[in-house]
Amino acid sequence: PYLIIADPKDMNFVMNHPSCLRKSNFYDFMRNWLGNGLLTSDGDRWWKHRKIITPAFHFQILDEFIDVFNSQSEILVSILKEKNKNANIDVYPYIGRCTLDIICETAMGTTVNAQRDIGSEYVRCLHLLLDIFFIRFFSPILSNNFLYKFSRTYRNEKNALKVVHGYTKSVIQRRKQELFRSIRNNEEIGGSLGRKKRRAFLDLLLEYSMTDSQFTEEHIREEVDTFMFERV
């Protein structure tokens, strides 16, 4: 049976009820990639991680990255200017790569140069993992976990995960070392010459992990990968 509600108060009650946080089984197709990040988790873990992550999207934090938005947009414009002005151009892939460059820098504090290096292995694997999710979503055979593990798609996923998880973990380690070094030197994280440092999404998670030992590096990896997935 279905219950259709229209009253805002009723909707508020339903949408904020813990039982409504349970995800459908299709979200399990992303767990190899995203683990139990904000997109795939539910219950108490979802509430806790949402509370941790929300401050990262404060307007003051986003304002620090305006120059990133501008510089990457300028690269996009310059690339489009190089194209044949008399031909029709599908701008979607160009805008997608621009967005990915922006997200990588704001989320992880690093650059993948997706706009200029369209053959980037990391970018290729991100899109491959997204494609695999939709393939499994629409395939009666590959949606079965037992049968899926015998498929070529599963092997492709494992190889792509090595690249994506490996990249994320390497960035986490590098930013973590910068954090510890900055604390020892009593500096802004990653700052130089007295300039205030932009704090990426990853930096905020690392700072929080220092106050909560239960928020592990694997939790950080899951949330960063989730953030990237939602912008691919």
pLDDT score for 64: 83
Q: Which residues of the chain have pLDDT under 50?
A: 190-195
pLDDT at 156: 97
Domain coordinates in residue numbering, the chain: 8-230
pLDDT of 121: 94
Q: Are 52 and 215 in contact (CB under 8 A)?
A: yes
pLDDT of residue 68: 92
- In DSSP terms, which residues pair with 192 in a beta bridge? 195
Q: What is the pLDDT of residue 16?
A: 76
Give the pLDDT score at 218.
95
Residues 125 and 164: beta-carbon distance below 8 Å: yes
Q: What are phi and psi of 209, to 5 degrees?
A: -60, -25
* C-alpha–C-alpha distance, residues 29 and 25, integer Å: 8
pLDDT for 157-203, tens place per residue?
999 999 999 999 999 999 999 888 888 877 655 444 344 567 788 99
* pLDDT of 187: 62
Would you say domain 8-230 falls under CATH 1.10.630.10? yes
